[in-house]
Every structure is written in C-alpha cells, then in structure tokens.
Structure 1
Amino acid sequence: MKKTNLSWLVAVTLLMAACSKDDTVNDAVFPATEEALVKDSITPQQINAQIDQSLQETGEFDWKQASNNMLWSAVHHGREVVSIGFGTHANDFDRSKSPQNAQIQDQLLQIVMAHEGKPLNQTLLAADSYLNTMDVAVTRQETIIALRRSNLVRYLEPADYRYFEVAHSLERSDESSSSGGSGCGYDAATLAAADYTTVTPNAKAAWTLYQHNVPSAWAYSTGQGITIGIVDTGTSPNQTLLGSSFNDGLSTGRTIQKFGTYVDSIWPWSTGTDGPNDQCGHGTSMASAAAAPRNDNGLPVGVAYNANLITYRAAANVVLDGAHEQNGVKNAFTALGNNAAVKIISMSMGHVFSVGKISDGVKYAHSKGKLIFCAGGTSTSFTTFVGVIFPASMAEAVAVTGIKEGGYVKCDDCHSGSKIDFTVVMQRAATGNTVPVVSYHNNQSDYVGGSSVATATTAGIAALVWAKNPTWNRDQVLAKMRQSAHFYPNKNAQFGYGNINALLAVQ
C-alpha cells in the first residue's frame, strides 16, 4: 500500500454547534496514524481462518473483534464497500427515533470523504430510509481506522465480503460440498404412503403434523385473519396453490402477496431487483409448510391453511453471503415491520456470524410487535462446528430446529444449542424421510427437511394460536406456545422448550 502523508488532516468541528450540550453530536474526526497501518492485506483464506477460530473457540464472531488490517483486508476483497451502522448508542437503529440521524450520517461521510479524497457522489452508495445504516465506498485502511475511532459508529463491517464463497473455494475437490449449503432445488418426489394422511377435501396432511397435534388443532383454528411474512428466496410462479389457487378446497377468503428485495448483480451498488419469483425452490417449500391450502388436488396442506401470506424474494439461496442478499433481507424485514397486517415473520436462512444491517432489520421488525421465527441452522461440510446461527441467535428471534422421530435427537444436519426455543419433529426414524410439501411445479410434491421446515412449521402453529386469540399481542402468543411445549416450564440445554402441542396451544 502506498505510504500517505496525513499531516493535512485536522479534526472536524462538531455539527449543530447551536444545539444545547445534551443535543450535540459528541464526536470528532481523528487522523489515522502511520504507525497503526499494516501495508499488506491478508488473504481471504486467512480471514476465514480467523473467523473460524473465533467461532470454534467462542461460538461467535463479530467484525468488532477484527484488527484494522483484517477488517480492511475483508473490505478490499469485498469490492471495497463498507456498511456503517451509526447512532448515539448501541440500539440507536431506528431513524424515526433518532432525531440526530442526518447530522451523524453527514459527519461520518465527512470522515470518509476526508480520508478517501473523493466527493459525496463517489462515497455514499446507499442510505437506508428507516434504519441508521449506510453503505460507503472505502479503499484505504486509514479510513477504517478513523471511522473506528468515532463513538458514533455502532458497527463497521465489510458489506460484500463472501465468507461462504471463500469456504467453498477451499473445498472445490469435494463435489458435494462445492454445491452444498445453498438449499436450492426444483425436484419433485413421490410421497411414501406412510408419510401422509389424506384429509378432506383431498389434501395430504404430512406425518409431522400429527407429531404436534396440528390436525386436531384445526377444529379450533386454521389461521384465519393472521398474516405470515416469509423472508426467503421467493415463491414459485409455477405453483398455483401458492398463487391463483391459494384459495382452494377448504382454504377461503385469504390473500397471498409476493415481493422482491434481492438484486441479482455482482456489483454491490446495483439497485434493480429481479422480482418476487423463486429461482431456488427453498422459499416455495417454506411457504407451503406454513400455509399451503387445504386443497382438493391430492397435495400437501400447510399448518395454517387459512392464513394470509406475504412472501419476499430476499436472497438467491439460504446462505446470506454478500451485499445484495444481506440488503435484501434487511429490506424485507423493514418492509414487513412497516406492514401493520403482518403478525408473524418466518425466515429459514442465515449466516454463521452476525451481520449488522440484518440485525438492525430484525430489531426494527421486532420493535413493531412482530413475532419472528428464525432457523437454528442446517449444517454444511464446513460449518458443522457452528451452534445456533445468526439471526436465530438474536434475543429478538425465536430459534427453531428439527429433530428426529421418537425422541430428542437432532436431525442429521440440524444445529442445536442453548439459544434454541422450539423443536419440530421432521425426520422419520426408519426411512429418514422429511416433510412433504408442494413442489416448485404444479401437481407435484416434494420432501424438505432441516431447521428450515421446522421454522416454517412453527410459524404456522403461531398463526393458529394468534387466530384463536386475535386480541393477544406477540408476548401472549409466545407464552402460550411455550406453555404447550414438552419441557415447559423448564428449558432443555439443546432443544429449548421442545415440541409444541398445537392442540393444547389453541385450547
């Protein structure tokens, strides 16, 4: 890295000098010193190794732990884009509750422009309308150091560093791992007769629903009047049961809406989304598990078959790697948070460590009273050492994982741990078969497993409880679910409150 003379940089005076002392943005620009710089960036493989070490030793990783050189190196390898979460305290994420947000954003931009030597239109790439976060272009380690010295920065992270892409590159010789972990597929399968029961008018109720007494609970509640938001890879345009035939059979008077927040581009500054349609298959399976209609076509029915659905294509696949997937998820959560009709949000995607902007989005939706369910984690070959993944690990999220039939043994590829709240039986003991759902294409079924389907199933049970008690708030619904679960009032060290008895939960 070329040595730079920084003697010309001076402290920038505080903005809003006319404000009272209590209202003043209390920060200044500090010059980065030559002694703090490390000239050469480290490799992506070295960055991943340090992340993995932290995950193995502590179960967590946050970019705040990284050295200046490690963070700058990750920015350098991530198309030189930085995400900044700003504010006067750790939970100052909501612009509407942060009267100084514009001043703080401007002050931090002044720091970046001073150290980068570039105008605003080459510095600010995006600023969120609802959250105190922005993406900026950064090329110099001095800029990283100066920003980290500011007490107005809540987090500073590489916006487009791709941990999973690097991990895959290390295992290219293993064909299964090079393609594993995406969670995508358009396959269909003939369902084994033992894996479903035909219910009126001609729908298939998955075996797993009987493990939680869901069919018995339907006598009390079917989810009518409750709206579930699904943050995932979208919904198939080729599955009419999640489209024009969403009201089919015994499912009536409800709506499905589809949106897209994912930008399919290699350039982090691109803004055009590619629409709401699922191009992976995973989101379609999750929407089916939660709320597919109680149809007369001989296909699987969802848990809350009379609930409304709002689905978001927020990512390309289930591992939230890179700027566009992380922005897409953040934007989906803020949109659902701002939608008064939405009661429940389900997301069966995640990352092995925290992402500041997604954390802000989850907190924002939670602050609006939403009940948020997130997948506890489904293993890939290089993340088997990780416990409960992010954002299921957050206090604002209800973490769910999958277990095998016949006892509390996690499914073959499910994560567990102290942060799990609920479990769903989703893998058969004898055959290993998972949960029947409607497939990507019309008139076809498939199996889906992991903590993903466990999460969508639990979101459906929550809709049953809320529909039975429409005046309740989130905390009351969650309390009822806990009280109806196997281990209540205790919490198992690996499986939380365990399996929910849906019948008890709606009585």
Structure 2
Amino acid sequence: MTTPYRRAALLAAATLTALLAVPAPASFAARAAETPDRPWALDGSGECTFPMKKQIEGTPWPLQRVLLDELWQDTKGKGVRVAVIDTGVDDVNPQLRTAVDAKSGKDYLKPDKENPGFGDEMRGKTDGTVDEVGHGTKVAGIIAARPRKGTGFVGLAPEATIIPIRQNDEKNSGKSDTMAQAIDWAVAKGAHVINISQDTTQPLDADSPMARAVARALARQIVVVASAGNDGMDGKLKNTYPAAFPGVLAVASSDRNNERAAFSQSGTFVGVAAPGVDIVSTVPGGGQCVDNGTSFSAPYVAGVAALLRAKYPKWTAAQIVARIEQTAVRSINGRDNHVGWGVVDPVRALADLPDAGASPPSSPTPDPGPARPPAPEPARLALSETPQERSERLATYALGIGVVLVAVVAGTAVVIRDSRRREGVR
C-alpha cells in the first residue's frame, strides 16, 4: 500500500523544481519546466474527495492535545479577520457558512465556465467562495470552523472571520504578481492575520512585488503566516517564498511524535512547526476529510495567531510571532532548521504573561538551560604567615601556656596540702 509520504515524494519528483502539488494533469511537469515564473504549489497532497456525506465523528489527534476549555477561556477569536489566500473558500459547508465573509472576498482567477464545479449557481462568482480543489476550504476550516453536532472537529479560533481570496487552482495557475495583489486586497479588507498555504521556489528579492506587498502588510501590524513547503524529502535546506521573507512566520509540519514530518521543507527561515500529518478539516459542500502537508500546519498556527490578536489587540505582529515561537515545545534549547523554535503549543501561547503589565519580546530567545555551578576557587599559596595564621599560632601558644600554668598551680596546691598533712601527723 502506498503511504502518503511515498505519494508526496512521487509528486515532488514529477513537478521538478516546484514543491509538492495537488493532483494535476499529466502535462503539468512539462508546463512547469517551460514557465519562467515557477508555478505556485499548494502545500497539501489533495488526496480526499468531496463533498463528504458523512462527518468524521472523533476528535482529530492535534485537537486531542489541546485543552480547548483552557484555550478559549479568554477568547475564541471574535472580531479577528483572517485572510485565506488559496484556492477559494467554500461557504456552503455548514461549519464555514457563518465564518466566511463573502462580501470581502476576491477571485483573481476566472471561473471555469465549462466546469464550474458544483453547478450553475457557481458560474461567474468572483467573491472567492468557489473552491473546485478543496484546498482553501480545508485551510479555512482549521482556522475557524464552527462547532457542529456529530463531529469532534472544530477550528482553533471558531469565532474568527475568514476573508476568502482565490489566487490558485488545481493547475497551479497562481503567480507572484497575483499573490502580491491578493495580499494587498487582504490588507484593504481589514485582515488581522493572513494565511498563505502555498509557495514558490523562485528566488524573490526585497524589490519583488510580492516582497513589497508582504512588507506593506507587516507595516500594518498584520501577522503573515506561510507554509514552509513539502519538498523536504531530500533533506536539503531551501528557501521558499513567501515563507522566507523577513517577518513572515514560516511553518513546517510535525508528526504525532513532535518531529519533522518527512516531507516538510527544512531551512533557516523556519519559525515553528505544527501538526501536518493525518489532518482533518472541512471540504466544499459539507463534511470533512483527512489530508497531509504544511498547507495544514500553517492555518493551525494562524488560528493561534488569531486568538492572540483577539486577546492582545495592542500587540505588534512581531510580538505575536515571538510569543508563538517562545512558547513552542522544544527538543533543544534554541531553534533548528527542521522545526524552528519547536512545535506550537496553543494553550501555552495563550497563557497569561507572568507579569500582567509587561509586553512580550519582539523576538524569541533560547532557553537558559540549567544553572552552572560556581567555579572552584584556586588554593592560595602564601610564602609568609598570614595575619589569621599568626593569630591562630598565638592563640595556640596562649592555650598551651595556660594549661601549663594550671598544671603548676594544681601541682603546687597538692604539694602544700600533703606537706601540711604530714606536719599535722607529727
């Protein structure tokens, strides 16, 4: 039986320089090689079908590790707007119907008139709520899916609002320029958090349109979260964008053992890791399915960022990112290139600060580790007698003289006594 990781490896090889893509036409590899602007790859395996008639009843394993009552004791993300720049977000799924703000949505791709996806009612829609791939709907569900009877799945910020922005599709039609436009649209529509679960390996400098768009978002104190990519099977370090831009919180995938998932891209830009294996989320039309990829790790972190934004509205974007990184579960004292500062811990991130009036740092710091014992003091070499040694010597002399004097007095007293006794006898 082919495992998800093996399928991921085969897909990565087929798309050459692009990161792991969702199932695509056979001609995709050739088209990718011919396209100067490397296509945007969706960082999920895209293995499930939809709509799903049955819901997944149990609680997904990533949520089993979270004490939701403690996580939500202060907020569930109400008032926070999260832009999902993806393949669109379906607003028919019952868990997303009240979560999606279609009026603020945008579609940067022309809907396919010959195959509109779910019927004529989708034809011509440009509000970002057409999702023929299902990828963006899964991403949105991890962030803000509402609770529903019959399933244990729920979003981490179930009262946050989703801004749907369609920028990519199953053909990987997304471009760097449209991504820049999508980011600017999210800023204009009042996003507090932007989630981007796709990437490109095309080198992009600080003057590229997308880099400038990211910089504008960060300047508005918007938290930008992006997936690190799924091309990590070869173990090589590689930059992917927009995750590698300064200020972006890049998210790798972790497994059930809090270790890097085999497909997760490693790099110096990785900020944290989050669950990305066997992830349950919503799909277009209704129900849920299971998928794998850093695509679904990023929204897990975006959901935590939404809760932090709701709880601490005055914090800067850098402070929210640092808080997520500082409270992550670490296997070492600092960070590494596989899981960054560690695996995100939602409850720890939302816990009250030790000093209620203090502000969090704007960057994470390594753990201090155990305290070092004091260094041994070297023995002092003295060539002459110290004052203390002199005092001790004189005290010894005095004690000795005192003992002798006591003995002499006592002996004298005994002699005198005995002498008197003898005289009395006579």
TM-score by length of structure 1 reads: 0.53
The alpha-carbon deviation at position 505 of structure 1 amounts to: 1.4
2:168 is equivalent to residue 315 of structure 1: yes
Asked if structure 1 preserves the Cα contact closer than 8 Å seen for 2:76 and 2:160, the reply is yes
Correspondence for 1:279: 132
1:195-344 equivalence runs, <5 A: 196-197=58-59, 206-214=60-68, 216-243=70-97, 245-246=98-99, 257=103, 259-264=105-110, 275-276=127-128, 277-298=130-151, 300-317=153-170, 319=172, 325-339=175-189, 341-344=190-193
Q: Which runs of 5+ in 1 are unaligned?
A: 1-50, 56-161, 171-178, 198-205, 247-253, 267-271, 428-433
CA offset digits 1:267-296 (Å, max 9, x no partner): xxxxx9955111211001000011111223
Note if 1:498 corresponds to 2:315.
Answer: no
- The one-letter code of the counterpart of 1:481 is I
Q: Deviations over 1:376-435 (max 9, x none)?
A: 001399x98563421111113110011111142x223221222110111232xxxxxx11
Q: Separation in 2 of the partners of 1:384 and 1:501?
A: 25
Residue 127 of structure 2 contacts residue 164 of structure 2 at CA under 8 Å; is this kept in 1? no
The structure 1 residue matched to 2:313, chosen from 470, 493, 498, is 470
Structure 2 CA distance for aligned equivalents of residues 318 and 207 of structure 1: 31
Match among 220, 232, 246 for residue 368 of structure 1: 220
Cα distance in structure 1, aligned partners of 2:232 and 2:125: 28
Alignment of 1:80-91 (within 5 A): none
Q: Shift of residue 215 of structure 1?
A: 5.2
Counterparts of 1:191 and 1:169, CA distance in 2:
41
Bigger relative CO (Cα 8 Å, ≥ 6 apart): 2
Cα distance in 1 for partners of 2:242, 2:320 equals 21
Cα 1:238–1:192, aligned 2, differ >3 Å: closer, same or farther? closer
One-letter amino acid matched to 1:346: N
Give 3-state SS (helix, strand or coil) of 2:276's partner. Answer: strand
Structure 1 residue aligned with 2:263 = 413
Superposition deviation, residue 229 in structure 1: 1.0
Q: CA deviation at 1:317?
A: 4.1
Matches within 5 A, 1:42-191: 165-167=30-32, 184=46, 187-188=49-50
Following the alignment from structure 1 to structure 2, what is the Cα–Cα distance between the partners of residues 471 and 222? 17
Q: How many residues align?
A: 305
Give per-residue Cα distances to partners, 1:204-243, cap 9 Å, x unaligned: xx22123355553122321122111111111125424322
**The structure with more radius of gyration:** 2
Structure richer in strand, relative to its length: 1
Go from structure 1 to structure 2 and tell me whether the alpha carbon gap of 1:364 and 1:261 turns closer, same or farther (over 3 Å shift): farther
My pick for the range that moved more, 451-460 or 221-230, is 221-230
Partner of 2:201 in structure 1?
A: 352
TM-score between the two structures when normalised by the length of structure 2:
0.63
Paired residue for 2:296, among 450, 453, 458?
A: 453
* Partners of 1:482 and 1:497 within 8 A in 2: yes
Structure 2 CA distance for aligned equivalents of residues 506 and 377 of structure 1? 27
Report if the CA contact (8 A) 2:237-2:266 is conserved: no
Instruction: Give the deviation of 1:363 after TM superposition.
Output: 1.9
Aligned CA distance change for structure 1 residues 185 and 448 (closer, same or farther; 3 Å): closer
Q: Give deviations 1:31-54, integer Å, cap 9, x for gaps.
A: xxxxxxxxxxxxxxxxxxxx96xx
Deviation at 1:192, TM superposition (A): 6.9
Cα pair 1:264 1:273 within 8 Å, conserved? no
CA 1:242–1:426 in structure 2 vs 1: closer, same or farther (change >3 Å)?
A: same
Whole-angstrom CA distance in 2 between matches of 1:307 and 1:392: 23
Matches of 1:294 and 1:185, distance apart in 2: 24
Unaligned runs of 5+ in 2: 1-15, 19-26, 36-40, 113-123, 352-426
Within 2, Cα distance between the matches of 1:180 and 1:456? 13
1:334-375 C-alpha deviation (Å, 9 max, x unpaired): 112233x32111100111123422222222212222110000
Label 1:391 to 1:318 Cα distance change in 2 as closer, same or farther (>3 A). Answer: farther
Q: 1:279 to 1:385 in 2, by over 3 A?
A: farther
Q: Secondary structure at the match of 1:452?
A: coil
Q: How many Å separate the matches in 2 of 1:454 and 1:317?
A: 20
What is the rounded CA distance, in whole Å, between the counterparts of 1:325 and 1:273 in structure 2?
21
